[in-house]
């Protein structure tokens, strides 16, 4: 906005009028900020975000200061709006005349705001991810399983920090490279780990659709001979006297099946 | 009132363990931190108790419920054979505890009722689902008429080899499992077919219309039960399967394992 409101008012009315306009801007800014504050609170309540962030570390540490996540974000937004209105008012009233400084501030304020928001959202999302993963793995009584939750949590923290730093204009190229390497590592390792599962699943789909053998048939697969007890996506159970072989489906495909007809 | 109080004191004197049949955390807390063992028995572990026996069905019959709980607690070694155990349970009312029963740990001869659900070849979830289908079928019948049905659960490969098809298998090349609501409807519809249903360890319905051909010599089941029960008992003796039978004549659901009648219950009570 290149039009200087202050100059327009000054040329139309008088110096005093400009001052009045500045005060009006301040007051409207205040009211507007209040409504934004209210609206965010309502939005959090209506969309169930309050319940969603419940139990995260961030929410807990915030509530120790007597506020909540919705409170913090609402205050932040209101503060942002109010700061903008103050700057406009000061500009109109020409109370301070270091224009360059204010121009800098107006340019950087939204970025700062987004950075803070990214940090808050990152903290909450990371905690929430950890809680969700932990709940999922609760039936697995394995202490090592908790590391998955932590991994997800810190990954999200890292990405949030990256966004915040990028917003503030800090050089993040090195961190970005690290993130890429990390993501690649995870994808690569998962692919290696799941290779057999993929092969077994593909073979399993064929076996289930075409049913070359079914439960009750006597078959020989590789060296193993017995009665088919169960066929699922990944494995086939074959039982002979007292021994149950659980054979991955891709092995069945590779060695072929001998059906024994009696 | 002192007479009543004394009587109650006698009943709960010198006990080794308490079986609490509850899902209510408040009731559970009342008995926690006492000098005897507290074991929670319910369909789900809602109170997150350390010692817990899971009920597969909401047994309406008190004896059956206590028998199952005792066998479960014995199996998990929460109690020993000679222990004195007090059961706090619900008898008349729908919720809240109204009954105190004192039993010995070895009160009932080991019937395998607990084994039926927990140590069957098939998953306990599958056994439970088949029971639910049988009970519901017993309650409503097929279009109001009483029907009979025979489900052979687990060890499906062997069962298939000891039986032959009476007609085309309606479940061929279908991959349906018991427990899905739609499948339960299908099972009910197919229950008018003759022969047995064969269900695998993981709950897949392998076949309907099966004529079971086990060797029935020497199978000992209560007199008066028909050919369907005889076939069920015999197939469980020859294989590691569990058979669940809905009787057409008296409407009872019976379970057989290893050739023996393990459980008998009336669908109307559930």
Residues A83 and A109: their CA atoms lie apart, in Å, by 9
* Amino acid A102: pLDDT: 67
What CATH number is attached to the domain comprising A219?
Answer: 2.30.30.60
Indicate the helix (H) or strand (E) that contains B160.
Answer: helix B156-161
pLDDT, tens digit, 9 for 90 and up, residues A235-261 = 999 998 888 899 999 998 889 888 888
Choose one of A97, A116, A137: the last residue of a domain: A97
Minimal C-alpha gap between A228 and chain B (Å): 6
Contacts of B204 (CB under 8 A, 6+ apart): A215, A230, B156, B175, B176, B177
* A residues 85-144 lying closer than 8 A (beta carbon) to B: none
Choose one of A39, A64, A97: the last residue of a domain: A97
What CATH number is attached to the domain comprising B159?
Answer: 3.40.1700.10
Are B22 and B28 in contact by the 8 Å Cβ rule? The answer is yes
Torsion of CA A160, A163, A168, A169, to 10 degrees: 140
Which 3 state secondary structure label does DSSP give B119?
Answer: coil
Interval A163-178 mean pLDDT? 84
Q: What is the CA radius of gyration of chain A?
A: 32
CB contact under 8 A, B158 and A215: no
Q: Indicate whether A80 belongs to any domain.
A: yes
The partner residues of B204 in beta bridges, in order of sequence, read B177
Are B156 and B199 in contact by the 8 Å Cβ rule? The answer is yes
Tell whether B131 and B262 lie within a shared domain: yes
Tell whether B24 and B153 lie within a shared domain: no
Which residue in B67, B60, B82, B57 sits closest to B19, CA to CA? B67
Interval A156-184 mean pLDDT? 86
Q: Indicate whether A87 belongs to any domain.
A: yes
CB contact under 8 A, A216 and B159: yes
> Residue A54: left if φ>0, alpha if ψ -120 to 50, beta else—which one?
beta
CB contact under 8 A, B158 and A227: yes
pLDDT, tens digit, 9 for 90 and up, residues B112-157 = 778 788 878 888 889 988 988 888 888 887 777 888 899 999 899 9
Q: Is B183 on the interface with A (CB under 8 A)?
A: no
What letter would DSSP give residue B166? S
Residues A46 and B30: their CA atoms lie apart, in Å, by 39
Interval B79-92 mean pLDDT? 82
Tell whether B133 and B200 lie within a shared domain: yes
Contacts of B175 (CB under 8 A, 6+ apart): A208, B204
Tell whether B18 and B125 lie within a shared domain: no
pLDDT, tens digit, 9 for 90 and up, residues A57-105 = 777 777 776 677 777 788 888 888 888 888 777 777 766 555 666 677 7
Tell whether B68 and B139 lie within a shared domain: no
CB contact under 8 A, B157 and A211: no
Tell whether B32 and B72 lie within a shared domain: yes
pLDDT, tens digit, 9 for 90 and up, residues B10-43 = 888 888 888 888 777 767 777 665 667 788 888 8
Q: Indicate whether A173 belongs to any domain.
A: no
Residue from the list A211, A215, A232 with its beta carbon closest to the beta carbon of B156: A215
Which 3 state secondary structure label does DSSP give A231?
Answer: strand
* Amino acid A141: pLDDT: 67
Indicate the helix (H) or strand (E) that contains B209.
Answer: strand B205-212
CB contact under 8 A, B160 and A211: no
Residue in B with minimal Cα distance to A207: B173
> Residue B95: left if φ>0, alpha if ψ -120 to 50, beta else—which one?
beta
pLDDT, tens digit, 9 for 90 and up, residues A222-232 = 888 899 999 88
Choose one of B52, B81, B114: the last residue of a domain: B114
Tell whether B127 and B256 lie within a shared domain: yes
As for how many domains chain A has, the answer is 2
Q: Indicate whether A180 belongs to any domain.
A: no
Instruction: Please indicate whether residue B109 or residue B229 has the higher confidence score (pLDDT).
Output: B229
pTM of the full structure:
0.68
Pairing type for strands B17-20 and A224-231 reads: unpaired
Which residue in B198, B126, B206, B202 sits closest to B171, CA to CA? B206
CB contact under 8 A, A216 and B206: yes
Tell whether B87 and B154 lie within a shared domain: no
Q: Indicate whether A204 belongs to any domain.
A: no
Query: pLDDT band for position A1 (50/70/90)?
Result: very low
Are B197 and B178 in contact by the 8 Å Cβ rule? The answer is no
What does pLDDT average to over chain B?
83
* Contacting residues of A for B206, CB less than 8 Å apart: 214-216
Interval B220-235 mean pLDDT? 88
Tell whether B131 and B63 lie within a shared domain: no
Tell whether B56 and B89 lie within a shared domain: yes
* Mutation target among B121, B157, B165, B235 for the A interface, most CBs of A within 10 A: B157
Q: Which of A51-55, B181-185, B191-195 has the lowest mean pLDDT?
A: A51-55
Neighbours of A18 (CB within 10 A): 20
Q: Indicate whether A178 belongs to any domain.
A: no
Residues B146 and B154: their CA atoms lie apart, in Å, by 26
Q: Indicate whether A245 belongs to any domain.
A: yes
Choose one of A97, A124, A143: the last residue of a domain: A97
Q: Is A215 on the interface with B (CB under 8 A)?
A: yes
Residue in B with minimal Cα distance to A206: B173
Choose one of B114, B145, B162: the last residue of a domain: B114
* Contacting residues of B for A218, CB less than 8 Å apart: 161
Q: Indicate whether A91 belongs to any domain.
A: yes
What residue numbers bound the domain in which B10 lies? 2-114
What letter would DSSP give residue A242? T
Interval A153-165 mean pLDDT? 88
Tell whether B104 and B132 lie within a shared domain: no
For chain A, the first-to-last Cα distance in angstroms comes to 90
What residue numbers bound the domain in which A24 lies? 1-97
pLDDT, tens digit, 9 for 90 and up, residues A128-152 = 888 888 877 777 667 777 788 888 8
Tell whether B136 and B110 lie within a shared domain: no
Choose one of B114, B132, B151: the last residue of a domain: B114
As for how many domains chain B has, the answer is 2
Neighbours of A15 (CB within 10 A): 11
Pairing type for strands B84-89 and B52-54 reads: unpaired
């Amino acid at each position: 906005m290149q039009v200087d409101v202050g100059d327009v008012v000054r040329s139309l009315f008088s110096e005093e009028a400009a001052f009045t306009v500045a005060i009006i801007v301040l007051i409207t800014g205040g009211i507007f900020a209040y409504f934004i504050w209210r609206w965010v609170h309502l939005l959090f309540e209506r969309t169930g975000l309050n319940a969603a962030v419940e139990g995260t570390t961030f929410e807990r540490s915030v509530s120790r200061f007597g506020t909540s996540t919705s409170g913090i974000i609402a205050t932040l937004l209101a503060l942002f709006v109010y700061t903008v209105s103050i700057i406009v008012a000061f500009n109109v009233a020409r109370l301070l005349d270091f224009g360059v400084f204010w121009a800098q501030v107006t340019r950087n304020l939204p970025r700062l705001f987004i950075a803070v928001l990214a940090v808050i959202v990152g903290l909450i999302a990371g905690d929430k991810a950890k809680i969700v993963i932990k709940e999922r793995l609760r039936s697995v009584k394995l202490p090592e399983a908790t590391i998955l939750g932590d991994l997800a949590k810190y990954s999200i923290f890292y990405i949030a920090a990256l966004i915040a730093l990028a917003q503030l204009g800090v050089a993040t190229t090195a961190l970005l490279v690290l993130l890429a390497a990390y993501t690649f590592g995870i994808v690569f390792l998962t692919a290696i780990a799941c290779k057999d599962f993929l092969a077994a699943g593909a073979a399993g789909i064929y076996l289930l659709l075409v049913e070359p053998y079914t439960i009750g048939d006597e078959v020989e697969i590789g060296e193993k001979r017995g009665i088919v007890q169960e066929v699922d996506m990944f494995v086939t159970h074959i039982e002979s006297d007292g021994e149950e072989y659980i054979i991955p489906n891709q092995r069945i495909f590779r060695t072929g099946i001998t059906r024994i007809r009696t | 009132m002192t007479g009543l109080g004394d009587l109650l004191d006698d009943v709960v004197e010198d006990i080794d363990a308490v079986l609490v049949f509850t899902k209510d955390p408040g009731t559970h807390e009342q008995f926690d931190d006492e000098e005897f063992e507290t074991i929670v028995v319910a369909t789900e572990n809602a109170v997150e108790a350390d010692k817990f026996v899971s009920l597969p069905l909401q047994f309406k019959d008190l004896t059956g419920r206590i028998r199952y709980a005792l066998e479960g607690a014995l199996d998990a070694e929460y109690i020993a054979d000679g222990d004195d155990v007090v059961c706090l349970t619900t008898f008349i009312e729908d919720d809240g505890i109204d009954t105190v029963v004192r039993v010995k740990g070895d009160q009932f001869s080991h019937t395998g009722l607990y084994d039926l659900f927990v140590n069957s070849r098939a998953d306990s979830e599958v056994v439970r689902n088949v029971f639910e289908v049988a009970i519901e079928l017993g309650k409503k019948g097929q279009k109001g008429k009483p029907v009979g049905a025979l489900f052979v659960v687990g060890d499906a490969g062997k069962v298939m080899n000891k039986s032959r098809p009476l007609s085309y298998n309606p479940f061929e090349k279908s991959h349906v499992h018991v427990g899905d609501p739609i499948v339960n409807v299908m099972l009910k519809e197919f229950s008018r077919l003759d022969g047995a249903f064969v269900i695998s360890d993981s709950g897949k319905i392998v076949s309907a219309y099966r004529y079971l051909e086990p060797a029935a010599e020497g199978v000992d089941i209560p007199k008066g039960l028909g050919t369907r029960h005889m076939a069920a008992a015999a197939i469980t003796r020859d294989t590691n399967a569990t058979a669940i039978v809905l009787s057409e004549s008296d409407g009872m659901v019976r379970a057989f394992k290893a050739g023996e009648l393990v459980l008998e219950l009336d669908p109307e009570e559930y």
